Amino acid sequence: MPCFLLVAACGKDSAPAPDPAPPASSSFSLNALKINGSFNGFTYFNINRSPVLKFSFLAPLDQSTVATSFALKDKSGATINYTVSFENGDSTFVIQPTGLLNAITKHTASVSTALKSKSGGNLLFRAEVNFTTQIDSSRKFPALSDNALLDLVQQQTFKYFWDFGHPVSGLARERNNGDNNLVTSGGSGFGLMAIITAIHRGFITREQGLARMQTIVGFLKNTAQTFHGAYPHWLNGSTGVAIPFGTKDNGADLVETSYLVQGLLTCRQYFNGLGITETGLRNDINTICNRVEWNWFRNNNQNTLFWHWSPNYNWEMNMQIRGWNECLITYVLAASSTTFGIPRAVFDNGWKGAPGYVNGNNYYGFQLPLGTPLGGPLFFSHYSFLGINPNGLNDASANYATQTTNHTLVNYNYCKANPKGYYGYSDSIWGLTASDIEGGYTASSPTNDVSV
């Protein structure tokens, strides 16, 4: 028996025992995430410009894989440089940008599944957090007095219409829209008023302003396309041909025409000289204004005015001009026209007869005589009142100085209260109106507050 055991133990034909398999590496997960010591989900606002981000995991980390798995980027996708350190036995890494981040900017910090533990396992799920940095309220320029600030606002507003005016027609371009020939009739009316203000303030000479006015008025009188005397919303600044604002909005826009006419009337009253040039300018303006067929836009003598008419689609847009909104000036000009005026019934039934015209409610302690709840966008109190002085103006429905003042105060107090908790709103940052916003354009108001 012993010999048998010895032979069995020493036999050349027996196979060696295999090595034991290495233990399988296991995946791991994110355990905690904090920005500046706090957890608030995966979206943060009002973060300082040198934040500390901590990512904690359920396993010690392979430090060499952090650089290839972690990314810190701004909204444009640009990579932000950072420093990294480790805590809690290498299960936590701490990130801090090497420089100050841009203010009011969205950033994204992400960790991919390429992150490995010391045992070789991979992060089970990608982790990502978004944060927006706070406003940088430090002074960027020397502080201005109120009067100096108002001067600068006037100068810069004027420069938009003066420097950016179309080189052929002088008309105002419609924002930065990618088409340098696209100009706007109503916006050009605002620009005419800005040029008058610039002359009065001494930003340009009367002669410079007059020359630009001659270019604009001559183009409007002789070149620009009209429909029963009314202008399109958009037109080509070189040819004067209408550019469609929409498929069926390719003809007359009576409201935009009224903004243009109020600007022209302002010019007519300002350039009151007896010389041939200023006299000729006034005569041309009268020709333009007197040929607007306001009453034709009643659409077969209805007791209301209609906003649009198309040479292809006629009245298919079917948008009546009814208050309360930005269109009071349209009815005032139509009622005062000496050539194509409207009767009182059109104003009473069309403008004032709309449901919800009268308001009377209080918002934030201010009574609003007219219009929609909380007043609507601020341009309701802007556009018409460039040509109409609301002070001392009353009718049976409203005191118009109260209307415009309280509308503004309601808008201000809404933004100050910030009931939706939007980032950045305050008593210094307010004013909801029509504007370009992220992703497009909207008429912002307290009841259409999509955050700007």
pLDDT band at 197 (very low <50, low <70, confident <90, very high): very high
pLDDT of residue 8: 36
Question: What is the token pair recorded at 201?
Answer: 């303030």
Q: Quote the CA–CA distance of 247 and 228 in Å, as a whole number.
A: 20
Residue that the structure tokens 């994110």 belong to: 30
pLDDT of residue 22: 54
pLDDT of residue 18: 62
Least confident among 29-38, 169-178, 205-214, 257-266: 169-178
Neighbours of 9 (CB within 10 A): 8
Query: Which has the closest alpha carbon to 263: 338, 212, 201, 208?
Result: 212
pLDDT of residue 301: 98
Average pLDDT of the residues in 387-404: 97
Residue 44 has pLDDT above 90, yes or no: yes
Average pLDDT of the residues in 224-253: 98
Average pLDDT of the residues in 410-427: 93
Percent of the chain with pLDDT over 90: 87
Residue 181 has pLDDT above 60, yes or no: yes
Q: Quote the CA–CA distance of 35 and 130 in Å, as a whole number.
A: 10
332-360 per-position pLDDT tens digit: 999 999 999 999 999 999 999 999 999 99
pLDDT of residue 6: 31
pLDDT of residue 271: 99
359-377 per-position pLDDT tens digit: 999 999 999 999 999 999 9
Rg over CA atoms, the chain: 34
Average pLDDT of the residues in 37-66: 96
* 305 in Cβ contact with 298 (< 8 Å): yes
Least confident among 174-188, 190-204, 254-268, 352-366: 174-188
pLDDT of residue 135: 87
Domains of the chain: 30-133 (2.60.40.1220), 149-355 (1.50.10.140)
For 209, phi then psi, to 5°, come to -65, -40
Question: What is the token pair recorded at 231?
Answer: 């202008």
pTM for this predicted structure: 0.81
- Residue with the bigger pLDDT between 255 and 141: it is 255
pLDDT band at 128 (very low <50, low <70, confident <90, very high): very high
pLDDT of residue 230: 99
Least confident among 8-12, 80-84, 225-229, 237-241: 8-12
Average pLDDT of the chain, as a whole number: 93
Residue 17 has pLDDT above 90, yes or no: no
Residue that the structure tokens 């027996």 belong to: 14
Neighbours of 365 (CB within 10 A): 9
pLDDT of residue 149: 94
pLDDT of residue 67: 96
Ranges of H-type helices in 96-205: 146-163, 185-201
Residue that the structure tokens 């994204």 belong to: 108
* 63 in Cβ contact with 158 (< 8 Å): no
pLDDT band at 101 (very low <50, low <70, confident <90, very high): very high
pLDDT of residue 24: 53
pLDDT of residue 11: 43
